[in-house]
Structures are given as structure tokens and as C-alpha cells.
Structure 1
Amino acid sequence: MPGHGQPHAAGVDPERLWLDRPEPRRGRRPSFSREAITAAAVAVADAEGLEAVTMRRVASEVGAGVMSLYSYAPDKETLLELMVDHVSGELPLTELLTGDWRADLKALAHLQRAHMLRHPWLPATLSTRRSPGPRTLAFLERALTALRPSGLDGATRLEVFAQLTGFVAGHVSYELAQAGAARSPERAEAEARYLAAVAADGHHPELAEALASAGRPTAPEDTFSRFLGRLVDGLDSA
């Protein structure tokens, strides 16, 4: 196992990133900071997508040379870690918990959904392993506190929150894809015709019955709440 501050075998070293303090720089103090670099990267990702975030682009946003950024973020992977933790600071931590752990967990999930919709690049970054920074840990602590009345042990509470976050990220990715498809009416109409043909071919009776049944509320918030309820209400507190 690598020692504190030593390079990791692969990926970002969380000790170096989150625990080490940057060494004082000699010479003239730079006009930017790690926080400013991260904020600039987040702004680019929010406006243009994660693909637009490059070290060169971020350097131009803060008015610096590319090489001067590397002491703050040596690669894009590190920059992504910083970005995820930076936006985690937007998640509110002051709302009072009710003691009803299922209701509180659902409320936290709704906060996560709104957060990910504000930052559409976020669900994709969460699909790979990330090292939680201080802001992310603050929200995690909040979630674990909300789950304490469930009677679940600490390890299970961690698993539950990981499962919840994965569900929210997956659902938001689906919402974003659906919103993109809605901007192409021709594609939506073609998909509807295709499903109607499949339902009528006699080989998919279960699908035909499902498609013919009464429609559900289609508002994104309603759909999310319905799926979330199935997930949270199905958790076993024993």
C-alpha cells in the first residue's frame, strides 16, 4: 500500500489530492488558484459538456499558461476529482432531518437529482471510481446520519447510499437522453411506430399488454418519485 503522498499504482492518489497542502510557490504569486481552475472547468463542462474540458481550455479561461496549471491539477483525471467535489459544495446540509429515514432518504435523492440536472456531466463522472473530497464527504455524512434511525449497520448504510446515488445518476442520464430525443420529433415518432409494430406481431404478448395498459404520469419529477419510492420503500431495515 503506498505511503502518504506517494504515487498510486493507478489513478489519482487521494491522500496527495485531499490531505497534502500545496507547497509554497517561489517567485511571484499566481493570479489564479486551484479553486479558480476548478470553477472554470465546471463552467466549461456545464455550458459545453465534459468533452470541452481540456487543460488548454481551462488555462485560457483563467488566463494562464497550460504548464502553470499542472502543479494544481497534473491531469484531467485529477481535475475531474476536483470538479466533482467542487459542485458537491452546492448540496444543502442545513435542512433538519425528520427522523423518518425513508422520507429523509427520498428528500436527499431529490436534492441529488436537481444537482445532477444542473450539472449534466456529473452522472457520467460518477460511473467511475472517485475519491470523495471534503464537500462530498459532508453530504455523505448527512446521508449516513439520515439513515441512522433505520437500524442498519454502518457498512450497510454506506451500501444503501451508494445504491441510491447510482440510481439517481442512472435515472438522470435517462432523463437527459429522453430530453435530447424529444428535440427530434421524427425519431420519437419512428420509435413509437416500431413499438406498435412489435406489440402487434403476436410474439411479444407481455410487452403488448404493458404498452396497452393505462398510462403513468409522464412528468419527469413524477416518474423519478415513483421509481425512487420503489427503491427506498423496498429497503429492509432488519
Structure 2
Amino acid sequence: MTRTEESGAGGVDPRQLWRRQDRPRRGRRPAFSREAITTAAIALADAEGIDAVTMRRVASEVGAGVMSLYSYAPDKETLLDLMIDQVSGELPTSGPLTGDWRADLKTIGRDQRAHMLRHPWLPAAVQARRTLGPHTLAFLEHALTALRPSGLAGAARLEIFAQLTSFVAAHVAYEVGQARAAQDPGRAAAEALYLAEVAADGDHPELAEALAGAAGRPGDPDAMFDRFLTRLVDGLDAG
């Protein structure tokens, strides 16, 4: 089968990907491990963004031939799965739970946000695929355990965790985008001036009221995230 660096196939059987030993599927054993290759890809994505991660570029980073990488990841989609699961090993899965499922779920959401901010490529990656690696499943198990006191059925707990993860990913993507926009002070000043004019034109009274209220709120990103997280979690129905 012809392989391309940007293949969207990602058709590897999860049993082969996650259950097999760390060895190439055929031929002589290369002088590289799957973990080392994945670590190099993560470092590249952290530094330059996910678009910089190609099979050829990762091979160059580890000093391997491209064909050696295909023994471990047949395409970029599989490599992304490996990357997501490896960084998921950074998430806490054994910390004590309080038994207050809403409080514990908020802690999990904060952990996810901090994790995604460390790896800004993650929000887009996790929303585009379902990764079933051991680290990912360990964190999922931790979240489902935290939700058990809610009394919800397992399927509902899965849905809540998916809802939380989607919210955190979207919020971090917004934060990262806003941080980049803030690097252009001229653009920020122009936008502020424009919104002030719109608020004063009399045609947008609701927006004017909202902007006036926002002016008095602290601009701390942690406080903003906590407000949004509280609204989400406290609004969940445990019935």
C-alpha cells in the first residue's frame, strides 16, 4: 500500500497499535523505539505546531530514515494517536477523589486545561479523533470513577466526560487564538475602538450593556475559565 505523509487513513487496528510489543512489524529491528519517535514528534508539535509534524520531519529529528518510522506508525494519523496517548500520561489518574462529583469534575477540567495549554496542538487533535491508548483510557477511568457518586448510568457518565473534554478543548483553542491576537497590539486597539463605537451607536443596547459589564470583570484567564467551567458543571443534570 502506498503511504503518504499526510495520509488520513489512520486505519490501524487498535489491538495492533496498543497491545503489540514495541517492535517493528517486519524486517530488521531499527535503532529507535516507538516512544522515542513519538517524543520527537511531540517536541516538534509543541515548538512549531501540528502542521510541522510530518513523517519526513520526525525522521530527520531522530536521525532515522522515513521507512524506519513506518515500522511503528504507518501514517501521520497513527502518529498523532501515539502522540495524544503519550502526553495523556501526564494527566493525574491516581489522585484522591472527594466524593463530591461536581468538585472532582471541575478539578479534572482544570487538569485538562493545564495539559492542553502545555500542548497547544492538542485541542484540534483530540476533537478530530478517538484515541484508545492506555494513558487515555486510564484518565477516562479516573473521570468515570469521579462521576460515580452522581448516580448516573455509565453511558451518561461517558457523555458528560466527552462534553467536558469538548468544552475544555474549545476554550483552550480560544485562549491560544486570543494570545496570538494579543501579540498584535495595533489590532487589539482597533477592535476595542470599533466595539466602543458600536456600543455607542444606540442600535445594539444589549451588546452595550454586556460590554459595560465585561469592563468591570477581571481579565484573569484562570478566573474566566473557572466561571465557564462552573456554569457547565453546576448545570449538569444528575437525575
Establish whether TM, by shorter chain, passes 0.5: yes
- In structure 2, how many angstroms separate the alpha carbons of the residues matched to 1:168 and 1:85? 17
CA separation of 1:54 and 1:11: change in aligned 2, threshold 3 A: closer
- Which residue is equivalent to 1:228? 229
Contact 2:105–2:146 at 8 Å: present in 1 too?
A: yes
- Which residue is equivalent to 2:11? 12
CA separation of 1:24 and 1:172: change in aligned 2, threshold 3 A: closer
- Which residue is equivalent to 1:137? 137
Query: Per the alignment, in what secondary structure is the counterpart of residue 109 of structure 1?
Result: helix
Query: Per the alignment, in what secondary structure is the counterpart of residue 165 of structure 1?
Result: helix
- In structure 1, how many angstroms separate the alpha carbons of the residues matched to 2:219 and 2:204? 24
Contact 2:97–2:146 at 8 Å: present in 1 too?
A: yes
- Which residue is equivalent to 1:122? 122
1:146 positional shift: 0.1
Where in structure 1 are there 5+ consecutive unaligned residues?
1-9
Contact 2:85–2:131 at 8 Å: present in 1 too?
A: no
- The CA deviation string for residues 173-199 of structure 1, in whole angstroms up to 9 with x for no partner, is 111111111111101001101111111
1:172 positional shift: 0.5
Query: Per the alignment, in what secondary structure is the counterpart of residue 131 of structure 1?
Result: coil
Query: What's the TM-score, normalizing by structure 2?
Result: 0.91
1:40 positional shift: 0.5
- Which residue is equivalent to 1:6? none
- Which residue is equivalent to 1:110? 110
Quick one: which amino acid aligns to residue 12 of structure 1? G
- Which residue is equivalent to 1:4? none
Equivalent residue pairs, number:
228
1:61 positional shift: 1.2
Query: Per the alignment, in what secondary structure is the counterpart of residue 192 of structure 1?
Result: helix
1:127 positional shift: 1.9
1:93 positional shift: 1.6
Query: What's the TM-score, normalizing by structure 1?
Result: 0.91
- In structure 1, how many angstroms separate the alpha carbons of the residues matched to 2:79 and 2:229? 31
Does 1:149 pair with 2:149? yes
Does 1:194 pair with 2:194? yes
Query: Per the alignment, in what secondary structure is the counterpart of residue 117 of structure 2?
Result: helix
- Which residue is equivalent to 2:216? 215
Query: Per the alignment, in what secondary structure is the counterpart of residue 156 of structure 1?
Result: helix
Does 1:180 pair with 2:162? no
- Which residue is equivalent to 1:94? 94
CA separation of 1:81 and 1:177: change in aligned 2, threshold 3 A: same
- In structure 2, how many angstroms separate the alpha carbons of the residues matched to 1:118 and 1:205? 39
- In structure 2, how many angstroms separate the alpha carbons of the residues matched to 1:226 and 1:212? 18
- In structure 2, how many angstroms separate the alpha carbons of the residues matched to 1:178 and 1:19? 40
- Which residue is equivalent to 1:7? none
Contact 2:89–2:135 at 8 Å: present in 1 too?
A: yes
The alignment yields a C-alpha RMSD, in angstroms, of 1.5
1:16 positional shift: 2.9
Where in structure 2 are there 5+ consecutive unaligned residues?
1-8
- Which residue is equivalent to 1:5? none
- In structure 2, how many angstroms separate the alpha carbons of the residues matched to 1:63 and 1:209? 58
Identity of aligned residues (%): 72
Quick one: which amino acid aligns to residue 212 of structure 1? A
**Deviates further, 225-234 or 174-183:** 174-183
- Which residue is equivalent to 2:61? 61
